[in-house]
Amino acid sequence: MAQNELQLAKAAIAGQFPELCMQTVESLGEGFRNYAVLVNGEWVFRFPKSWQGADELNKEIRLLPLLAGRLHVGIPEFEYVGRQSDGRPFVGYRKVPGEILGEDGMSALSDEGRDTLARRLADFMSALSAFPVETAIQAGVPIRNLKSEVLQLMESAKKEAFPLLHESLRDYISRRFQTYLHNPQYGSYTPALIHGDLSPDHYLMDSRKTELTGVIDFGDVAIGDPDSDYVYLLEDCGETFTRQVMTYREQADPDARIEKVSYFVTFDQVGYLLEGIRSGEKEWIAEGLEILEEDARINRSL
């Protein structure tokens, strides 16, 4: 997080919410579209870095109060809503209890800990899917047209990424797109509310890492295919864990569901490579190529 961002955050919070009596402010880091600070060790303030991030935050401002108390875990509850100098919103909320699990923490969990987490995530995902779709739409949650997104991603990959790939990897990615798009079952689902970014970086656990205390970062929340919410479980937590969650949700035909979600993983990795190409980040591009090679190796062996 840049020093000027920290200073701007301090000025905005102190100017608009003097009742906080701000004593300490520290960086909590940043993502693609937001940065966050911790005030007085208790309050998280999040600032979007772009208008896309602002649109996502406005969506959260409308939706999250409607979800409070429904999800069985802690989520951000915005008590402060302010405006940056250019009109973009920023929010403050009491820090959700727990610490970020992350991929490293996920791999370090005991079998019992993984099982407990699977059960809690299953409850969270089921409660989210049960939320009334029409209410979510009225709150400004967008409807994802997954087929259109995949088609657009395929065309972008052909134009921007394929020139960097060797022939066998181009063929593999093309087959993945075509197989998904030509399977009518994949386009048949009942739309539901999805979190959109259920990676371990957004799971909060207690200090002993035995209990899920919260889920954060609802910026990608949407109405879409419920199976797409498994993408980061499969990608970051592994197949065994993803099956555990599916079992607790009593979902039919987990084998077919895992296969379907594996396509979402491939498409996510293609998207990651494209982001690297567009930003010109050589390390990002190299990592994107590496994970796609690994994806091809895994799926060719099935």
**pLDDT (tens place) for every residue of the chain, 302 residues total:** 567 788 889 999 999 999 999 999 999 888 778 899 999 999 999 999 999 999 999 999 999 999 998 998 999 999 999 999 999 999 999 999 999 999 999 999 999 999 999 999 999 999 999 999 999 999 999 999 999 999 999 999 999 999 999 999 999 999 999 999 999 999 899 999 999 999 999 999 998 888 999 999 999 999 999 999 999 999 999 999 999 999 999 999 999 999 999 999 999 999 999 999 999 999 999 999 999 999 999 887 55
What is the DSSP code (8-state) at residue 6?
H
pLDDT of residue 1: 59
Domains 97-141+200-221+237-251 and 144-190+252-302 share a fold: yes
Rounded to whole angstroms, the Cα distance separating 24 from 11 reads 13
pLDDT of residue 2: 67
CATH no. for 144-190+252-302: 3.90.1200.10
CATH no. for 3-96: 3.30.200.20
Angle at 172 between CA 230 and CA 269, to 5 degrees: 40
What is the DSSP code (8-state) at residue 278?
H
pLDDT of residue 302: 52
What is the DSSP code (8-state) at residue 217?
-
Neighbours of 194 (CB within 10 A): 25
Rounded to whole angstroms, the Cα distance separating 80 from 65 reads 13
Angle between helices 239-248 and 111-129 (to 10 degrees): 50
> Is 97-141+200-221+237-251 a CATH 2.60.40.1730 domain?
no
Query: Is the whole-model pTM more than 0.85?
Result: yes
Token pair recorded at residue 238: 């592994």
Token pair recorded at residue 104: 């490293």
Provide the residue ranges of all domains of the chain, joining segments of one domain with +: 3-96, 97-141+200-221+237-251, 144-190+252-302
Is residue 59 within 8 Å of 139, Cβ to Cβ? yes
